[in-house]
Structure 1
Amino acid sequence: MTNKGIILLAASLLFSKINTAQDLTGSWKGSLSINGNSLPLIFNLSRTGTEWTSTFDSPAQNAFGISTSSTTLMNDSLVIQIPLINGSYRGKWNGTDSINGIFQQGNFKAAMALGKTIQVKDPKANLLRPQTPQPPFDYIIENVTYNNKEGSVQFGGTLTLPKNKKDFPTVILISGSGSQDRDGTIFDHKIYWVIADYLTKAGIGVLRVDDRGIGKTSLGLSANKLTSEDFANDVEAGLSYLKSRNDINPAKLGLIGHSEGGMIAPMVAARNKNVAFITLLAGPGVPGYEIWNGQMRRNFIKPNLNAEDYTIASDLVNKMNAQFRFSTSADTIKKKMEAVYADWKLSHSTIDENKLFLAAGIHPYKTLVNQFASGLAWLQYFLNYEPFENLSKVKVPVLAINGSYDIQVLADENISGIEKALKKAGNKKYEVKIIPSLNHLFQTAQNPEQSYGSIEESFAPMALEKISNWILSLYK
């Protein structure tokens, strides 16, 4: 699963016209304290005529040139809305070289002063994204909208269909966790567009959809209470839409789910008879809390500890993060964490926390609660989700592939879990595969730690070929 705590920001920055606003042009740098570490953030402001625009950088996360949105400057007050992370920055400009304000993400708030700085050069600025589809396109492209059955959400997406073909299979792409556009845009990669382009050229229809609150898809009701179950219902709305079209065969509808999407696809397939097949890309095969604990141990514990120290450190991390399973109240979770931390300290009074953890003390855990405050219902559902329950009911054909370099959804244990469940289901047509040297986004990486943004490849051709050939083989 992608880490919702990581700050990835997007959209366009527009400022109202004031006479002295030209002094705002340039780069403005501040820093946040995240889990005891300093995270530098930079806004780069420029103006064309009366219109102001901006890009946003998070150098420590290899994120550069990201656009921002819904920003205004009234007199000396700057307000930047960042819907992608449910965040904002509000500050007062001193008229010359500093802006003092508050950065907010969900219920997490922190003071952040911005000062004039030199724009940081993107180290990957000269990298290409050679797989990003380019016109002309030899297939049908249609931007579509449809609603869920309650009428509470309107979905916006792109449907690509093969030209001059009939009776072809069609799939819905289901995104991973976090708010993503229909193209799966991350670090200038257009992951889901690349997949859709390849599959449609091969003769497979593809519907890719903006996530709730992104692009042309509305957020709907009770945003803080949304879980994967709601997103599974969203997928079923997409199936109903595809079934309503006379140019699509309703007997050949499938799902391709990436990461959390690989958890949602079996949820839908286990209960909806309109699903003819599913493909799971880095989908979970073990309980959510096991995946989460592994990710959090990587985030909190220093690398290269000996076995004894790692066990002691893991005991704290696992117990602290387990509190997210039992409540959706931030205050309750923090109180439970305080009790767990006190017990651990009492049992390990001679341990030097600085030796074990990237940041010592309870503060990093409370910061994590704040960062997830607007998504605690989603997190609780994920942590308590058992993939086996739905996978063991799936009878339709299944392809499950993971990359050996995936450090978010570990390949061996999750592929093993998926296969065990499908055997329990008595599924007669499934394939599981671990592809060497691919990371969580299915890029060919030099090592498991290589950052996504530093890789030119958006999605490994061997994985694209495997997905395409497998789907088409179902209908030979």
Structure 2
Amino acid sequence: MLPESNSPIRRALRRLLATTAAIAALTALSPPAQAAPDGLTEQDITFSSGDLPLRGTVIAPTASPGVRRPAVVMVHGSGRVSREGYRQEAEAFARAGIVTLVYDKRPRKSKSDVDFELLADDALAGFRALRGRADVDPAMTGLWGVSEGGWVIPLAAARSTDVAFLVAVGASGVSPERQQSWNLRNRLTGLGVSGSMVDTVSRTAIGLVVGAGLFPEAGYDPAPALARVTQPVLGLWGEQDRVIPGGESMRVFQESLDRGGNTRYTLRTVPGAEHTMRVSADGIRRGDEVSPEYLGLVGSWVNGLAAGPPAASTGPLPRQEGRTAAVEPVSPGAQLAAVAVLLVAFAGYGLSAAVRRLRGRRGAPPVRRPARWLATSGLLSVLGLLGYLGYLSTSGAKTPGAVVLGRPVPWLGLQFLALVVVVAAITTAVASWRARSRLSPAHRARLGLLLAGGAVFLPWALHWGLLVP
């Protein structure tokens, strides 16, 4: 006979059954640890950063009962990055005895939707999820960040004393706008490009993006956050890094940590490695192999923290091609106004000629030939530059075209067109003056607008490097 429904025994049995069912449900929902081919284990997890669910994978050494290991959360570089992009390093860290979490980066609404504080929230959310595992030593759990992640993890560490250490890889010590300008200059010169186009792409175009507010976190200064970091820091820069200025960055790290009173840092250059620590001979062409020396440094440094953090130590500065420079913002309003005047002036002349023909007006007006040259070459020059800069922006200036005499062929074509515009403008102005007595009021107005476009084109083309060697 069962106990009475309101008896203590019956109520205890009901609670026991409910608890057992809940545990069974959670077990069914939680993905089991999976055996990796090399003996490591993997487990997919989901954690929340605010209202945003993030998915990741924990890669760990095979668990030993009662053994807690150091652990690290890997924080992404820029762009749309998934956890798979860091699997090679994560598996290497796990083989070195470090439990590692890699996760998919939060989705971006647009290229300008970047917030380092939100990314730091995500890193800390992953940190809390990893730190609570049974096989993880919570006092030995830290953050690893590469490239953009090198701006993010000091912000996270400054907000949580629970973070045990930081590993910064290819981290920039200068603002994003300076770093990107330096990166583009290196990329173009590495492809054999020289002359005005280098400045146009690496400074003028970046200045316009900054001035228009389309460069996220453009002026972010990493030094204040670094000065607030009290945890041990391992900073690593590739000897062949052409993306961030390694020499300046290592110096900023050292000075900022010293200013904050942090004497527990190790700063090193990794020989033969590029920005993401892949083996590379020149920093431009890279292989798939991650530098073994880099992996060894991370593994030994993290595991060595159990015996106490090392004293401050800085190795030789990485090789750096030239110093970074401040980027002057370019007014988008002024540029839009100039382009509008140029398009109206050059396209307007052709449209008015088409309307004149449709109305059946016969006879060639004076100054027709040089004016046509000016209108046509001017329109092609403006549209060509806008199109080419747009292409370089979307491609990251990785394929500017075949290079002849230090200039990509498209750029040479644009410079030639710009010279044609200047010559045509001068020719049109002289011809208009000589034929002024034969010009009708309507044609004078058309030529006046066209010549105004030619006058605006000269400083505009100089500003964008089209008339500069």
Relative to structure 1, the CA distance from residue 301 to residue 161 in structure 2 (aligned partners, 3 Å threshold; closer, same or farther) is closer
| 1:249 positional shift | 2.5
**Structure 1 residue 448 displacement after superposition:** 2.4
1:229-248 to 2 correspondences below 5 Å:
229-248=117-136
Residues 431/416 of structure 1: CA separation in 2 closer, same or farther (3 Å cut): same
Q: Equivalent residue for 1:414?
A: 249
- The Cα RMSD (Å) is 2.6
- Which residue does 2:159 correspond to in 1? 271
- Structure 2 residue 96 is matched with structure 1 residue 211: no
CA distance in 1, matches of 2:157, 2:190: 40
Q: Structure 1, residues 268-295: CA drift from partner, whole Å, max 9, x if none?
A: 1111112110000000111222101112
Aligned partner of 1:467 in structure 2 is 298
The one of 323, 327, 340 equivalent to 2:208 is 323
Where is the helix percentage greater, Structure 1 or Structure 2?
Answer: 2
- The structure 2 residue matched to 1:155, chosen from 47, 54, 57, is 54
- 8 Å CA contact retained: 1:259, 1:284: yes
Match of 2:240 in 1: 405
Taking the TM superposition and a 5 Å limit, the aligned residue runs for 1:318-397 are 318-328=203-213, 376=214, 379-381=215-217, 383-397=218-232
Deviation at 1:315, TM superposition (A): 7.5
User: Is 1:180 equivalent to 2:81 in the alignment?
Assistant: yes
CA distance in 2, matches of 1:413, 1:429: 20
Moved more, 240-249 or 201-210: 240-249
What is the one-letter code of the residue matched to 1:461? P
Identify if the C-alpha distance between structure 1 residues 241 and 439 changes in structure 2 by more than 3 Å, giving closer, same or farther. Answer: same
The letter for the 2-side match of 1:136 is: P
| Equivalent residue, structure 2, for 1:365 | none
> How does 1:73-92 map onto structure 2 within 5 Å?
none
The one-letter code of the counterpart of 1:278 is L
Q: Are the structure 2 counterparts of residues 249 and 295 from structure 1 closer, same or farther at C-alpha, using a change threshold of 3 Å?
A: same
Unmatched segments (≥5 aa) in structure 2: 1-34, 308-469
CA displacement at 1:234 relative to structure 2: 0.8
Shift of 1:195: 1.4
Shift of 1:222: 8.6
Deviation at 1:388, TM superposition (A): 0.4
Conserved 8 A contact 1:324-1:380: no
Counterpart contact for 2:175–2:219, Cα < 8 Å:
yes
1:365-394 Cα distance to aligned partner (Å, 9 max, x none) = xxxxxxxxxxx3xx331x211110101111
The residue that corresponds to 2:258 in the other structure is: 423
CA contact (8 A) 1:327 1:380 kept: no
Instruction: Give the structure 2 partner of residue 200 of structure 1.
Output: 94
State the SS of the aligned residue for 2:216: helix
Partner of 2:408: none
The answer (yes or no) to whether the contact 2:239–2:270 under 8 Å persists in 1 is yes
Q: 1:228 aligns with which of 107, 116, 124?
A: 116
- Identical amino acids, percent of aligned pairs: 26
Q: What residue in structure 2 maps to residue 168 of structure 1?
A: 69
1:161 Cα deviation after fit: 2.4
The aligned counterpart of 2:351 is none
The structure whose residues are more often strand, as a share, is 1
CA distances 1:370-429 after superposition (whole Å, capped 9, x unpaired): xxxxxx3xx331x21111010111111000001111110122121121111111111111
Relative to structure 1, is the Cα distance of residues 243 and 472 closer, same or farther in structure 2, using a 3 angstrom cutoff? closer
Provide the TM-score with structure 1 as the length reference: 0.53
Residue 181 of structure 2 is aligned to residue 287 of structure 1: no
Which blocks of at least 5 consecutive residues in structure 1 are unaligned? 1-133, 185-191, 214-218, 329-375
For the residues of structure 1 that align with 2:202 and 2:59, how far apart are their CA atoms? 45
- The change in CA–CA distance for 1:231 and 1:316 in structure 2 (over 3 A counts) is closer
Partner in structure 1 of residue 346 of structure 2? none
Secondary structure in 2 matching 1:441: coil
SS of 2:234's partner is strand
| Cα distance, 1:475–1:144 mapped onto 2, change above 3 Å | same
The offset of 1:243, in angstroms, is 3.6
Contact persistence 2:234–2:267 (CA under 8 A): yes
- Normalised TM-score (structure 2): 0.53
Q: CA deviation at 1:299?
A: 5.2
TM superposition shift of 1:255: 0.5
State the Cα deviation string for residues 96-116 of structure 1 (Å, max 9, x = none). Answer: xxxxxxxxxxxxxxxxxxxxx
Instruction: Assess if the C-alpha contact under 8 Å between 1:293 and 1:318 holds in 2.
Output: yes
Cα distance in 2, alignment partners of residues 170 and 245 from structure 1: 10
Cα distance change of structure 1 residues 244 and 299 upon mapping to structure 2, 3 Å threshold: same
Amino acid of the structure 2 residue aligned with 1:463: Y
Return the match for 2:199 from 299, 305, 314. 314
* 1:417-456 deviation per Cα after TM superposition (whole angstroms, max 9, x unaligned): 1111111111111011111221112122122221x3xx24
1 CA distance for matches of 2:134 and 2:288?
39
Helix, strand or coil at the partner of 1:252: strand
CA separation in 1, counterparts of 2:166 and 2:245? 20
Q: Does the aligned pair in 1 maintain the 2:150–2:170 contact within 8 Å? A: yes
Deviations 1:48-72 (A, max 9, x none): xxxxxxxxxxxxxxxxxxxxxxxxx
Q: Is the 8 A contact 2:73 2:130 kept in 1?
A: no
Tell me the CA shift for residue 313 of structure 1: 5.7
Residues 282 and 440, structure 1, Cα contact 8 Å, conserved in 2:
yes
Verify the 8 A CA contact 1:239 1:274 in the aligned structure 2.
no
How many residue pairs were aligned? Answer: 271
Q: Equivalent residue of 1:407, what SS?
A: coil
Name the amino acid aligned to 1:160.
Answer: I
Distance 1:260 1:313, change over 3 A: closer
Distance, in Å, in 1 between the alignment partners of 2:37 and 2:113 is 42
